[in-house]
Each structure stands twice: as C-alpha cells, then as structure tokens.
Chains A and B, each alone.
Chain A
Amino acid sequence: MKEFFVKLSHDKVGIMGFTGIFLVVIIGLFSPWIAPYSPEKMFTSHVMEGPSSQFLFGTDEFGRDILSRIILGTQVSLKVGLISVGIGASMGLLFGLISGYFQGKVDSIIMRVMDVLFAFPDILLALAIVAVLGPSLSNTMIAIGIVFTPVFTRTVRAAVISVKESEYITSAVAIGVSPVKIIMKHITPNILAPFIVQISLALSGAILTEAALSFLGLGIQPPNPSWGGMLDASRTYMEFAPWTILFPAAAIVFTIFCFNLFGDSLRDILDPKMRKS
C-alpha cells in the first residue's frame, strides 16, 4: 500500500485524478456541513438568479441554491456509483472467473445470459429493470449493477482465458495446486489490471447512467437532489438560465474525468513490469 502511494506520487496525471476523486469524496462525505444552504430551501425572491456572491452557482426555478444541490447530489452520485459498480463488478468477477476457467457448458450458459443482457442498450435495460422494481435509490443501484455485470463478466472472462493459457498456470497445475487456489492466487492477481481499469470506467459510467435515469425521471426522485435530476429540471430553461444546467453538467464531467484519469494511472501502477523491489 505504501509502495502504491510512492508510485502514485510520481505520476502527475494520477495525482490529478486522485486529488479530484478525493475532493469529490470529501464533498460527498461532509456535504450537509459544506453546503451553504439546505438543498430544499426555496428563496422565493431569488428565483432563477445567475451566479452572485450570495448564490455562487445561481438559483433554480424554485429559488433553490444550485451549489448546495450539487454538493448534496455528490453524495447520491458517489453512493450510486460505488454500490452499483460494486454489485456489477463482484457478479462479473464471479461469473467471469467461473466462465473463463471452467469453460465448456457452464461458460456457454453464463455467456448466453450475458449476451442477452448485453444486447439491450444500457439505458433501456436499466429503465426496464427500474420500471419493474419501481423507482427508488436502491432499485436504481441494483439496476445499474445488473447493467454492468455483462461488461465485467466479459472483461474478466477474456482476461482469464488469456492468463489461463500462460505457462505459469500449467506449471501450477503440474505442481498439484488445486483449481480454487489457482483461480485465487494465480489467475485473479493477473487479471486485476483490466478489471480495475474497467471499474474506473464503470464508475464514471454508473454515475452517468444514474444521471440519465434521474434525467428520465426514473432514478432519484425529486425533491432529492441528484445531478441528473437537476439537468432534467433545468433543460427547459437552459436558453435563458444556462447556469442551471451548466454547473450540474460540469460536476458530472469533472467527476467522470477524475475517475478516468485515476483509472488510467492505476493501470500503469498495477503493471508488474513497472514494479521494483
């Protein structure tokens, strides 16, 4: 772990991404204390005002402070991102390892199910799942988790198949190591790089999907603040009140950008050829 931070400190882009994520996480964790106002408080005399010293990012159609809503929305976005990717990644890892290592019939069954899920566009599938389960925070996370499972399964499976052909796996088999240990100790560590990169991409993807779902009205329900929901609410006014849409969009872009930068640098750090004792 210490080694990891030493490596990170040599990578400027990685630091930028990491700092950005750190900032977003801090904002998310302490949002109720950081936000200047309550996200639901309506300043009826300041409806749709542009950025000012009182309201840094302006106010929306109900006179609510956009900055406060973005800050509170961070919490939602991060929570949805982390938990849904957690669901998708762990299911994908499990299915991918089983599928890739044992192959044959199990592989065919798992992969055909994944193909079916994969055949639907992300948003459509997420919409369908949310429509069945009913719109709520936890159902949004489950839906996004399911949407991301096939991508993880495929990434992991492909990596497992390529790693499985390496001679060090044959060598472990020849030594008499059990399949479970081979999967845990030899295969999993060697597929982590693509897996982690996939996580960083999926995190931003999940945040985006949540925004899209909320934008379509099936994600986080108003008046709870969420970035996607804010975009939805302000889309009608964006011509004459661009700040209402600009700042939530910037929050989404910034977060996703940081996750991608960090994911990229993670991949480099996790490459064993860059490792020194």
Chain B
Amino acid sequence: MHKNIVLEVNHLKQYFPIKTGVLRRTTGRVKAVDDISFEVHEQETFSLVGESGCGKSTTGRTILRLLEPTEGDVFYNGRNLLDYSKRDFRKVRRDLQMIFQDPYSSLNPRMTVKQLLIEPVLTHKLASKKEAEKMVIAIAEKVGLSTEQINRYPHEFSGGQRQRISIARALIVKPKLVILDEAVSALDVSIQAQILNLLIELQKEFKLTYVFISHDLNVVRHVSDRVGVMYLGQMMETAATDTLYERPLHPYTQSLLSAIPSHDPSVKKKRIILKGDVPDPSNPPSGCPFHLRCPKVHDRCKIEKPIFKESEPEHWVACHLYDNEELSLQP
C-alpha cells in the first residue's frame, strides 16, 4: 500500500487576527485552521468535508499560499512550498491549480473565453501565441465547449458551462494537483453530475490528483478515494471512502453521516441529532473541539485534546474513545 505522496500537509495552522479599536490592536485570533495534517497520494481524490466554517476552504487556499499560513509545512513532491519566495512560487503554481466554487465570480467578466484560457499558457510561457490558440481549442473541446463559443464573454454562459471554462483554465497548463473548492456546490443537481463525471474523466486522462473540498457527503462519496473530516479547524478523521462511510469511528463523523438523506423514504434511519451550535473558532473549547456536542463525551475530553493517530491501518482519528488500541506512531 505504498503510494507516492504528492502533497503532505504538516501541522498547518491558519489564524486570522481580530483587530479592534481605533489603534487596530490584535485582540484575538480566529483559528480557522488549527494544526491539521494529511497526505494526498498520486492520482487519487482526497476530499475534505465538514460544515461551513470548519476551515476546509481556508485549508485549500493556504496550501496554494493564497493565504500565508501562520504555522506548519506543506510539502509538494518533497519540497516545502513555504520555502519559495513569492516570485519563485508563481512558477510552481503551474503544477498546482484551483477551481473555485462560484463560476459567476471566478471568471473575469471583461475577458473572452479565449483570453481567459490563453492567459495561463502565456503566463507560464508554455507556447507561442499561435500554439497557445491551438491549445485553447483543444482544451475547450475536452471540456465540452464548441470552437465558436470561445469568443464569447463569460456572462453569455450558464453556470455549468462557466464551470467548464474554469476547469479548462485550470487544466490547460497541465497541472499535477488540482484543488477543487466546492467546485460543484453552486450548480444544480443535474449539472453537478455532468461536471463531476467530466472531472473524473479528466482526472484519468491527465493523471491528476484532486483535493476535493465539499460539504456534500453524497458527492464526496461518489468521487473520493479517501476522505478527511474537519470540525472547527481540526481534522477529526481520515480514512478510505468506503471505510469511512461504512465504519466511521469518530462520533462527529457518525452524526454527520446520519444526516445524509436516504433515497428510500421507507427506510428509517437513526439520526444522531447534535445539541447546540458550532463553537466560536476565535474561542475554541478546551480539550476536544467537539466535546460540547459529543453524545459520547466523557470527562477526559473536556481537559485533554485527543491526538490524531492511526487507530486502524490507514484510518486516522482524533478521539479518546480509541486511545486503548494505540497501534501506531504519530504523523
């Protein structure tokens, strides 16, 4: 089971300062991403799931240094991405692309599709202008846009078509890793399926590695090889998709999965209803971040923060319930 690790995130932290008063003094910090670690293997789809505000998008953006992390390391093919200067990192960006949630705001409204697609090629000096135009036509066809559509402006397209443009824009430079930040959440269900299938096809064809950020558990199950569950900026559980959906270990994952609506209304599912709200990330609870709402909470959870560890092979969890079977080393 030794696969090539493409991306390794180590103890990544992203704190946003809260500034108040006339002097803009930092009075607190929002711990959007609080010490998370995970690996992504070559050509797999690794999903990050969690409620809104749990820090999954921030994680994605921090990996690509769209936000500079507070602490931690991000290794891409063994090199620490945070060691690059901003200028040098621009060259590395070719390998690491991102697709955004909202296809209505992620495309410059004043550029035609052709201009939008040619820009990454010319930015990374991958081809002459003439060849670049050929590449544009090729990639447009790949994502299902016709040649005559490439001279139009983004507002002339539907949401699904725009997302195809975004995909083409990310893939035209032949990246290795693509971060999909809620890439299909803004689309309606029938279009979602089309785009997801397109993404899966393209992944096979271009041998891509995906980091798929989503809150939609059904979509995640459909596309992912492995899944990481986040809560309040922390990683709760990481496992292969089937393992996670069949045998979730963490009480949070269990309650999350119990919330998936069933396709068959006659089947009565046991819903685990959580009490209360997600705590304020600027003032997270002591001990386990989930202890205030956990149905299986015990005294230890309130004081001691559980360590994220491999409780079963390839199945990592941060919960005191599984402390007895300590099998493995720390990450």
Contacts and interface: CB of A to CB of B under 8 A. Distances in A.
Nearest to B91: A176
Contacts, number: 72
Contact of A176 (B94, B100, B101, B108): B94
B153 A178 contact: no
Interface string B114-154: 00000110011000000000000000000000000001110
Interface residues of B, number: 33
Contacts of A170: 61, 66, 100, 106
B93 A272 contact: no
Nearest to B115: A185
Contacts of B111: 185
A174 B97 CA distance: 7
A48 to B, nearest CB: 56
A173 B152 contact: no
Contact of B156 (A173, A176, A190, A277): A277
Given A175-B97, A272-B153, A273-B155, A168 B106 contact: yes
A173 B123 contact: no
B109 interface: yes
Contact of B106 (A171, A177, A273): A171
Interface in B50-66: 61, 64, 66
Main secondary structure of the interface of A (DSSP, over half): helix
A94 interface: no
B209 to A, nearest CB: 16
Contacts of B156: 276-277
B90 interface: yes
Nearest to A171: B106
Given A167-B106, A174-B66, A178-B90, A277 B123 contact: no
Contacts of B91: 176
B108 A172 contact: yes
Interface in B84-118: 90-94, 97-98, 100-102, 105-111
Contact of B119 (A177, A190, A276, A277): A177
Contacts of A177: 90, 119, 123
B309 interface: no
Nearest to A175: B120
B31 interface: no
Given A171-B98, A175-B123, A277 B106 contact: no
Nearest to B89: A176
B169 interface: yes
B105 A168 contact: yes
A175 B106 contact: no
B93 A175 contact: yes
B110 A174 contact: no
Contacts of B97: 174-175
Interface of A: 166-168, 170-178, 181, 185-186, 189-190, 272-273, 275-277
Given A168-B108, A190-B108, 17 more contacts: A168-B105, A170-B66, A170-B100, A171-B106, A171-B107, A171-B169, A175-B93, A175-B97, A175-B120, A176-B94, A176-B123, A177-B123, A178-B123, A272-B110, A272-B153, A275-B155, A277-B153
24 contacts: A167-B100, A167-B102, A170-B100, A170-B106, A171-B106, A174-B64, A174-B66, A174-B93, A174-B98, A175-B93, A175-B97, A175-B123, A175-B169, A175-B170, A176-B90, A176-B92, A181-B123, A186-B108, A189-B110, A190-B108, A272-B110, A273-B109, A275-B153, A277-B153
